Chains A and B, each alone.
Chain A
Amino acid sequence: MTTPPTDLKATLLKLEARVHDLEVTARETGQNLDAAIHPLRAEVERLRTAPVPAANAPMTRWERVQLARAPGRPTAHDYTERLVTDFTELHGDRNFADDHALIGGPGRWQGRPVMLLMQQKGRDTKSRVRRRFGMSNPEGYRKAMRLMDLADKFGLPVVCLIDTPGAYPGIEAEERGQAWAIAESIQRMVRLRVPAVCAVIGEGGSGGALAIGVGNRVLIQENAWYSVISPESCAAILWRDSAQAPKAAEALKLTAPDLLELGIVEEVIPEPVGGAHLDLDAAAAALGEAVGRHLDELGKLNEQELKAQRAARFRALGAFTES
């Protein structure tokens, strides 16, 4: 990260205050907020101990992961406020509940009519708790499918902004078929008759991200990550020590440049030097341009071509040899 030395102390104080805030909330509500607290605490430790890097020093994969989760990282709302007009949020899965971690509705993406689906982590402690830090219950994915039905009906291209540590791991989520909801959402996206452009804007955590990630084009911001598992969980399993997360992040090759090389994404969307949080308007402009350009390109394809292109894109992914 490229925090200038003069700002370091202020940043540290801000982070420490936030950790404290979350800990108090956790105590008072009885909710486990470790998923939010641990990365912040790690960041505090890192800033305290790490020498301040030069402004243009290359970042490690782990540093990028931390940047993707940093408290000041722009959320989907920060972008849509700048890029989307006439947005009508549509609530609920018509079955059980409204999920606040995955929201959506029709709007205009820099003037283009689209159906917007986005994972929203929240911008302060209260909204983060309400939005479960961007971790959906099955209702979130079922609402997404409902909105995809509307997109197909009205011929609206689907734009997905992905930012989730993963689908929520809870008792009720399992009881109501978390795995089923994700699987069906993937299938629903495969069957879309309209263009779909997906952009990972922070964390692309596993199946919970892929559930709205089956696009004709998949883009990723420069400092976002996308992986089968979080570095902490991977480290806990393979190294038997979640503190080895930096090593796991390296091994998982989960950064934007890695994913471009693996053919998982079509394009890396540049961020302002130091990260999207340092110049939100510039970050939004780059995201808006990239998504808009792909929407315009895909607009030239008919339904069959769109489905065939999307199917072929995902059918081809994988690495193996053949004897």
Chain B
Amino acid sequence: MALDRFFRRRRPQQQAGSDMPDLWTQCPACKESVYNRDLEANLWVCPKCNHHIRLEAGRRVEVLLDEGSFVQLSGRVHPTDPLNFQDTEAYSDRLVRAQKKTGRPDAILTGTGSILGLPVTLAVMDFAFSGGSMGSVVGEEISRAAEHAAQIGTPFVLVAASGGARMQESALSLMQMAKTTVALEGLTARGLPYVSILTDPTTGGVTASFATIADVIMAEPGALIGFAGPRVIQQTIRQSLPEGFQRAEFLLEHGMIDDVVDRRNHRNFLAGLLGVLTRRAPDALPTQQSPEQSSEQSAEAPA
């Protein structure tokens, strides 16, 4: 699986949404320093270079849902250490550390809410928790959220951000790929839309299961999306990788995703799309976007 890249070379990038004692953040792409209040107003998209800074799960919910509409579903399911996994550090210790850092039991946040008045069930993976890796809890919470959506009759929206399946739960993590796929069947049976939003990074077993069997697949500009990690591929073929390889724009070009959508346009994109698919009208019509916020433009913006 494609975890290596993230474990080895985790960028010294500040996670948006964590406690921010500083007044400004350095953009990891263009290295410009930007005031946090400007970044926040711009949904953590760099105003200088359009780089989409990784979002902590809670902040992602704020970006997507109508203010005050979120009702959390996840949080009662907690990870265990079924294999008593020990590498240079015990898995149980790694879990405690990630839980303290993020304030969540595991790398997933789910709930219900609305987008421009349209009810949705939402699942957001949290890259800040152990690289968003998928173990039993992530699989279970995503499955429950998808089943909840089918039960109450809302579309299901999932935001992927993950290095892949979690090694420390071995085959149990692998089985979450099949489990989540089973849980998504209820949406198909009830004719409810499932939209996934692939963000930086989405790789390994997450890409090879629930994230890519959505009815509509969106991706954030510049997001790394693939099955094998770039380093693994490079080691196998011993050639340098093509420019833009495995980036959202590359996948759009190869026909693998429906569109690359600027984060500042996600709510309007989803409201327009889900409104048509469910034959409902959003509260407010999507507002006119400025040219640099249209999906076509963002697809051409530098990653």
Question: Interface on A for B, CB 8 Å cutoff?
Answer: 32, 34-35, 167, 169-171, 173-180, 182-184, 186-187, 190-191, 206-207, 210-211, 213-214, 226-229, 233-234, 236-240, 247-248, 251-254, 259, 262, 264, 311, 314-315, 317-323
Contact = CB atoms under 8 A, between A and B. Distances in A.
Contacts of A234: 167
B79 A320 contact: yes
Contacts, number: 201
Given A171-B241, A179-B227, A252-B170, A239 B209 contact: no
A206 B1 CA distance: 7
A140 to B, nearest CB: 13
A237 B172 contact: no
Contacts of B139: 318
Interface residues of B, number: 65
B11 interface: no
Nearest to A244: B87
13 contacts: A32-B235, A170-B237, A174-B233, A182-B208, A183-B209, A184-B213, A226-B171, A228-B166, A228-B205, A229-B170, A264-B172, A314-B175, A323-B76
B88 A207 contact: no
B176 interface: yes
B112 interface: no
Nearest to A238: B87
Interface of B: 1, 3-4, 7-8, 76-80, 82-83, 85-88, 135-137, 139-140, 143, 165-167, 169-179, 181-183, 185, 204-205, 207-213, 226-228, 232-233, 235-239, 241-242, 245-246, 254, 256
Nearest to B225: A179
Contacts of B254: 175-177
A186 B178 contact: yes
A210 B174 contact: yes
A178 B2 CA distance: 13
B236 A179 contact: no
A177 B207 CA distance: 10
Contacts of A180: 208, 212, 256
A239 B87 contact: yes
A320 B172 CA distance: 11
Contacts of B82: 262, 319
Contacts of B204: 207
Given A175-B254, A227-B170, A254-B170, A318 B175 contact: yes
A268 B136 CA distance: 24
B4 A236 contact: yes
Contacts of B166: 228
A171 B227 CA distance: 11
Contacts of B210: 183
A79 B79 CA distance: 40
Nearest to A254: B170
A187 B212 CA distance: 11
Given A237-B8, A315-B143, A174 B245 contact: yes
Contacts of A214: 178, 181
A237 B233 contact: no
Nearest to A317: B175
A179 B176 CA distance: 15
A119 B176 CA distance: 22
B236 A169 contact: yes
Given A186-B181, A319-B80, A320-B140, A227 B174 contact: yes
B177 A207 contact: yes
B167 A320 contact: no
Nearest to B4: A237
Given A228-B171, A237-B7, A323-B78, 14 more contacts: A178-B208, A180-B208, A183-B212, A207-B208, A226-B171, A228-B169, A238-B7, A247-B87, A254-B170, A262-B172, A264-B171, A314-B175, A317-B179, A323-B76
A214 B3 CA distance: 24
A229 B167 CA distance: 7
